[in-house]
């Protein structure tokens, strides 16, 4: 069977999206392609974001390949499932461009994992996969009903009720070591979240890898109710095989996209033996001074640590389950900065914040060369406890509701948003490009 895996060319004009806008390796498509090819399917992975392909160009490539199944993602790489653009503007353009092909159209991503009904209605696709898609995609070929017997597939008969399905959780130990083509890597100058040198200064490619998925915590603002729940590690030898392949192809910087890069002495020791720098996202309260020293010695040059608030009461209200006091967190951040050239303590704006304490905290950390942002307004993602607390389980209008409320409540957004975001309906009608 022939599968076309499509990553649209994402545009962010008018969006509340505050993540990185550069193209990243679509790791979930990488695993899916390897698993599909392992059982004899033909796969065309079209990365419109990497190649800057408009929807029509993607459609032309797709039609020439004549796939049986067309897969469209609603987030630019699994790295951004955690903070995807709420609007489906880019996937909508793809679906419109490929609809006439007659292939089964399948949406994957964080939106459909949480609100499959809304995604099917908006995109007009035939199926929506809930949860992590890489192991589910090969099952579609085996099922004559193309997913109707697969628990994580949402489908709806003409005019009938849909079957919601349950989100799938991939067996991370079973995912293969990825081997990206040399020519794909050669063009990648982006080093994600790296600030110890100017972009492109090293002249060598950067790449993203994943050593684990999921998180054992349950912060209230985090969209994790319908995917990336349980913490799962990939076996260290598999991760190293992937890293060695990347390094042999010239990659000099890795970004571990793990929601929560946990201390792992075996992985750190092995990565430290390789000629590669790396960046991570973590909770600083999981590290000790000794482990932070080991992290820096292994080649870590960038840490993004979600602190969320300078106020212990606010952290408690956000469900951080952080057992450290403010002064312990500050000491750990400073210690991290002693060993790692860039350390960020991320803050979210919350009702329980104490503005004077936040200002004091930022001043202290900035003087210690730990970057601390102005607190960013919290977007109540459907699939987060924050959304459920306000409005109950996400329904067909969840994204519009959360987006409308966000625009109404905030006049200032993150440091990188220059323009006033547009309403969701306008974005999905093609506005703001
Ligand atoms: S620590 Fe909290 S914010 Fe970070 S991934 Fe886990 S639940 Fe989400």
- Compute the average pLDDT of residues 67-87: 95
Rounded to the nearest angstrom, the distance between the alpha carbon of 222 and the centre of ligand 1 is 6
- What pLDDT was estimated at residue 197? 87
- Looking from the CA of residue 216, the nearest atom of ligand 1 is 6
pLDDT for the residue 352 = 84
Q: What percent of the chain has pLDDT over 90?
A: 85
Cα-based distances in Å from 384 to 198, 319, 390: 35, 12, 10
Least confident of 138-142, 292-296, 411-415: 411-415
Ligand 1 contacts CB of residue 218 (under 6 A): yes
Partnered with residue 173 across adjacent β-strands are: none
Q: Which of 363, 367, 377, 359 is nearest to 415 (CA)?
A: 377
- Ligand 1 atom showing the smallest separation from residue 222 Cα: 8
**The predicted structure's pLDDT at residue 417:** 55
Neighbours of 252 (CB within 10 A): 17
Predicted pLDDT of residue 431: 85
Assess contact for 339 and 350: CB atoms under 8 A. no
219 lines ligand 1 (CB under 6 A): yes
Q: Do the beta carbons of residue 190 and residue 208 sit within 8 Å?
A: no
State how far the Cα of 422 lies from the Cα of 427, in Å rounded to an integer: 6
Q: Looking at ligand 1, which residue's alpha carbon is closest to its atom 5?
A: 259
What does the pLDDT look like over 110-155, one tens digit per residue? 999 999 999 999 999 999 999 999 999 999 999 998 998 899 999 9
Q: Where does the pLDDT of residue 165 fall: very low under 50, low under 70, confident under 90, or very high at 90 and above?
A: confident
- pLDDT tens per residue across span 178-228: 999 999 999 998 999 999 987 778 889 999 999 999 999 999 999 988 887
Is the pLDDT score of 357 beyond 70? yes
Rounded Cα distance between 187 and 138, Å, is 30
Q: What is the mean pLDDT of residues 154-165?
A: 75
Q: Which pLDDT score is estimated for 199?
A: 72
Ligand 1 proximity of 222 Cβ (cutoff 6 Å): yes
Q: What is the pLDDT confidence band of residue 412, given thresholds at 50, 70 and 90?
A: low
- CA 326 to centroid of ligand 1, rounded, Å: 19
Q: Closest Cα to residue 28, out of 195, 228, 226, 215?
A: 228
pLDDT of 418 over the 70 cut:
no
| Mean pLDDT, all residues of the chain | 94
Q: Which of 210, 212, 213, 224 to mutate to test the pocket of ligand 1 (most atoms within 8 A of CB)?
A: 224
Residue 363: the pLDDT is 95
What pLDDT band is residue 231 in, cutting at 50, 70 and 90?
very high
Residue 411 has pLDDT above 80, yes or no: no
- The DSSP output letter for 231 is -
Q: Which residue has the tokens 């319908």?
A: 226
Q: Tell me how far apart the alpha carbons of residues 382 and 306 are, in angstroms, rounded to a whole number.
A: 20
Asked if residue 5 lies in contact with residue 425, where contact means CB atoms within 8 angstroms, the answer is no
3 state DSSP class of 212 = strand
Determine the pLDDT at residue 48: 98
Residue pLDDT, tens place only, 185-198: 999 989 999 999 87
Q: What's the gap in Å between 36 CA and the centre of ligand 1?
A: 31
* Nearest atom within ligand 1 for CA of residue 260: 5
Of 81, 210, 217, the residue with max ligand 1 atoms within 8 A of its CB, to mutate for a pocket test, comes to 217
pLDDT the model gives residue 161: 63
């Amino acid at each position: 069977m022939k599968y076309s895996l499509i990553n649209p060319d994402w545009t962010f004009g008018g969006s509340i999206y505050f993540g990185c806008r550069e193209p990243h390796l679509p790791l979930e498509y990488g695993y899916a392609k390897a698993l599909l090819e392992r059982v004899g399917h033909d796969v065309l992975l079209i990365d419109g974001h990497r190649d800057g392909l408009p929807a029509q160009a993607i459609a032309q490539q797709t039609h020439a390949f004549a796939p049986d199944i067309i897969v469209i993602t609603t987030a630019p790489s699994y790295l951004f499932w955690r903070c995807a653009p709420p609007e489906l503007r880019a996937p909508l353009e793809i679906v419109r461009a490929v609809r006439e092909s007659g292939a089964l159209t399948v949406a994957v991503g964080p939106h459909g994992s949480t609100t499959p009904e809304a995604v099917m209605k908006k995109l007009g696709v035939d199926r929506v996969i809930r949860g992590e898609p890489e192991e589910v995609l090969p099952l579609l070929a085996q099922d004559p009903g193309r997913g109707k017997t697969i628990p994580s597939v949402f489908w709806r008969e003409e005019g009938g009720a849909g079957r919601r399905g349950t989100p799938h959780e991939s067996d991370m130990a079973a995912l293969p070591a990825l081997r990206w083509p040399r020519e794909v890597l050669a063009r990648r100058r982006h080093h994600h979240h790296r600030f110890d040198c100017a972009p492109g200064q090293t002249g060598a490619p950067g790449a993203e890898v994943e050593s684990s998925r999921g998180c054992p915590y349950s912060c209230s603002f985090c969209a994790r109710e319908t995917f990336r729940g349980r913490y799962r590690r990939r076996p260290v030898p598999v991760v190293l095989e992937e890293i060695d392949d990347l390094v042999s192809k010239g990659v000099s910087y890795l970004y571990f996209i793990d929601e929560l890069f946990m201390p792992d002495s075996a992985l750190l020791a092995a990565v430290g033996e390789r000629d590669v720098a790396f960046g991570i996202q973590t909770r600083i309260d999981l590290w000790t001074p000794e482990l932070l020293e080991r992290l820096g010695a292994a080649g870590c040059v960038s840490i993004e640590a979600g602190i969320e608030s300078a106020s212990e009461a606010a952290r408690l209200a956000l469900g951080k389950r952080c057992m450290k006091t403010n002064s312990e967190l500050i000491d750990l951040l400073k210690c991290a900065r002693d060993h790692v050239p860039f350390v960020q303590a991320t803050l979210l704006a919350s009702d329980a914040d104490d503005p004077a304490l936040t200002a004091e905290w930022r001043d202290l950390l900035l003087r210690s060369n730990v970057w601390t942002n102005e607190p960013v307004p919290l977007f109540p993602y459907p699939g987060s406890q924050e959304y459920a607390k306000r409005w109950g389980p996400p329904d067909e209008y969840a994204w519009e509701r959360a987006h409308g409320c966000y625009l109404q409540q905030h006049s200032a957004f993150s440091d990188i948003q220059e323009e006033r975001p547009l309403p969701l309906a306008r974005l999905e009608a093609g506005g703001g490009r």
